[in-house]
């Protein structure tokens, strides 16, 4: 037994990355403790993916029925809260089960005193290994007048007792698109202003274009390629001044939603006292989730990578394992599905076109447009979307794919499984997919790519 109070200490163990690290470390028989300043559950359960999906499902149903969204909203809010309470309760039960197995939970914020010492609510504890898993926080731009407008963020927007008559959304990422579409389908007049030239600016341009068309179909006014200037009071609401294609423009709305992304939460950690390096505003880690201090690890949003739960869980597993085992395990995030749950949905696994090009790969790609498929004729409304798949010309292996389609988040896993197993386009093309089905887009796209590669 070491001379430390604990073998492993998790800073911020209530979220997916930290709790996974704690449970993984416990399996080794280590003495594990975690400090959590907030409510158990983490962003996904409390104010992220789960409540937002609940809202989106309701909005889709309300739109389909032609119901009054604003009148239905109290019931929607009630169900959303039930979902959060149920899932947060499950996390509490899971933590209680781990406490019975030896986990110690210390409420409060932890800060480094030195590389092996932490202070939590005035109590000092020592640990041989430490895992930082403090998550992320909303980005708030330095925009004149924005602070005075007390802008909503995703969490506060999803807790509104009543929806505003009009909403101005700042941002063009996943949460901005999801909440803008939700609000529009609930009867809110929505305008969305994005600084870069397209929505989902980290994805290929074709994806952003389809997302823009989909939001506009729902009545959202979309402005891309803008320069934000100021927010000022206007009547009972707020006026945003900005440049759009270098031309002055103004929009007014009852409420402002700042959805410009998230950044790693390093507040109060005192990383300098531990000698932990920070790069680009995030805790710098290697493939083993080690920081610049070999005994200190990090997992989840605080590492600054894609802020998605499935990655946080894998990182937590790696950090928890490496904190308790001499043989280090490397993170493998080559196959990481991600999605935006708008209608249509967007999903991607592996590299998009720009990333494959930046990586220096010699690759081929093929696209299948949904409207060209026979199944598209069976839908009463035109289908908007496509699948693009790409493979390495030298190895023939699939390196990535993206899909815009209804239920894209479900369909992308075909490609994820193929990539995990070292599959090639010909392997997917050989599968007798059900006909007619939207899933055939994957099959057809793979067949086109296989022929391009002469497989």
E strand spans, 99-175: 104-107, 110-114, 117-120, 123-132, 136-138, 166-170
What's the pLDDT score for residue 131? 98
Residues 161-211 have pLDDT tens digits of 999 999 999 999 999 999 999 999 999 999 999 999 999 999 999 999 999
| Overall residue count recorded for the chain in this entry | 455
Residue tagged 């030239």 (tokens): 197
Domain ranges (residues) in the chain: 6-138+263-322, 147-260, 338-452
Cβ 303 vs Cβ 318: under 8 Å: no
Structure token pair of residue 263: 């950044």
The count of other CB atoms within 10 Å of the CB of residue 120 is 20
3-state secondary structure string, 211-265?
Answer: HHHHHHHCCCEEECCEEEEEEEEECCEEEEEEEECCEEEEEEECEEEECCCEEEC
CA dihedral 355, 357, 362, 367 (to 10 degrees): 70
What's the pLDDT score for residue 1? 47
CA atoms within 13 A on the CB side of 211: 33
Q: Residue 76: name the closest of 150, 171, 185, 192 by CA.
A: 185
What's the pLDDT score for residue 47? 85
User: How is domain 338-452 classified at the CATH fold level?
Assistant: Enolase-like; domain 1 (3.30.390)
What's the pLDDT score for residue 43? 87
What's the pLDDT score for residue 450? 97
CA atoms within 13 A on the CB side of 430: 7
What's the pLDDT score for residue 42? 86
- Does residue 278 come out as left (phi exceeding 0), alpha (psi in the -120 to 50 range) or beta? beta
Long-range pairs for 180-184: beta carbons < 8 A, 24 or more residues apart: 180/215, 180/220, 180/257, 181/56, 181/59, 181/214, 181/215, 181/218, 181/220, 181/342, 181/343, 182/52, 182/55, 182/56, 182/59, 184/215, 184/218, 184/219, 184/220
What's the pLDDT score for residue 8? 98
| The domain made up of 147-260 is a member of CATH 3.50.50.60 | yes
What's the pLDDT score for residue 243? 96
What's the pLDDT score for residue 281? 96
User: How is domain 6-138+263-322 classified at the CATH fold level?
Assistant: FAD/NAD(P)-binding domain (3.50.50)
What's the pLDDT score for residue 14? 87
Q: Is the dihedral of CA 403, 408, 411, 416 positive or negative?
A: positive
**What residues form DSSP beta bridges with 202?**
none
What's the pLDDT score for residue 364? 98
What's the pLDDT score for residue 362? 97
Q: Determine the Cα angle at 354 with ends 350 and 359, to 5°.
A: 70
Instruction: Estimate the crossing angle of helix 174-185 against helix 49-65, to 10 degrees.
Output: 30
pTM (predicted TM-score): 0.94
What's the pLDDT score for residue 416? 97
Q: Report the distance separating Cα 281 and Cα 290, nearest Å.
A: 16
Ranges of the chain with pLDDT below 50? 1
Same fold: 6-138+263-322 with 147-260: yes
**Mean pLDDT computed over every residue of the chain:** 95
Regarding beta strands 6-11 and 32-36, do their DSSP bridges make them parallel or antiparallel, or are they unpaired?
parallel
């Amino acid at each position: 037994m070491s001379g430390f109070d604990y073998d492993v200490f998790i800073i911020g163990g209530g979220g997916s990355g930290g709790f996974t690290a704690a449970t993984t470390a416990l399996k080794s028989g280590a003495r594990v403790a975690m400090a959590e300043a907030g409510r158990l559950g983490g962003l996904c359960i409390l104010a992220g993916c789960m409540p937002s999906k609940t809202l989106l499902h309701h909005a889709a149903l309300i739109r389909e029925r032609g119901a009054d969204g604003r009148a239905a909203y109290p019931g929607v809010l009630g169900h959303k809260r039930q979902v959060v309470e149920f899932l947060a309760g499950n996390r509490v039960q899971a933590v209680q089960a781990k406490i019975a197995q030896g986990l110690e939970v210390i409420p409060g914020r932890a800060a480094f005193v030195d590389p092996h010492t932490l202070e939590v609510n005035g109590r000092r504890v020592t640990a041989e290994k430490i895992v930082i898993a403090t998550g992320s926080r909303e980005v708030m731009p330095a925009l004149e007048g924005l602070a005075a407008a007390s802008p909503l963020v995703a969490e506060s927007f999803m807790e509104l007792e009543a929806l505003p008559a009009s909403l101005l959304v700042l941002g063009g990422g996943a949460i901005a698109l999801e909440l803008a579409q939700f609000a529009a389908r609930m009867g809110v007049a929505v305008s969305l202003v994005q600084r870069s030239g397209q929505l989902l600016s980290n994805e290929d341009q074709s994806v952003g274009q389809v997302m823009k068309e989909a939001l506009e179909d729902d009545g959202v006014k979309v402005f891309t390629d803008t320069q934000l200037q100021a927010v000022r009071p206007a009547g009972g609401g707020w006026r945003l001044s900005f440049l759009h294609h270098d031309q002055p423009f103004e929009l007014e709305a009852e409420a402002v939603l700042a959805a410009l992304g998230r950044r790693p939460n390093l507040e109060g950690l005192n990383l300098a006292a531990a000698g932990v390096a920070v790069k680009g505003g995030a805790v710098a880690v290697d493939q083993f989730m080690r920081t610049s201090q070999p005994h200190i690890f990090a997992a989840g949003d605080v590492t600054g990578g894609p802020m998605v739960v499935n990655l946080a869980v894998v990182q937590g597993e790696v950090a928890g394992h490496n904190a308790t085992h001499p043989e280090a395990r490397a993170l493998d995030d080559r196959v990481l599905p991600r999605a935006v749950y708008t209608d249509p949905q967007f999903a991607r696994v592996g590299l998009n076109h720009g990333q494959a090009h930046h990586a220096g790969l010699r690759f081929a790609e093929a696209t299948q447009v949904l409207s060209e498929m026979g199944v598209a004729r069976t839908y009463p409304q035109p289908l908007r979307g496509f699948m693009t798949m790409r493979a390495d010309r030298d190895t023939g292996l699939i390196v990535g794919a993206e899909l815009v389609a209804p239920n894209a988040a479900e369909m992308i896993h075909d490609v994820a499984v193929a990539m995990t197993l070292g599959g090639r386009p010909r392997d997917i093309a050989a599968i007798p997919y059900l006909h007619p089905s939207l899933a055939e887009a994957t099959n057809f796209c793979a067949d086109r790519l296989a022929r391009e590669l002469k497989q």
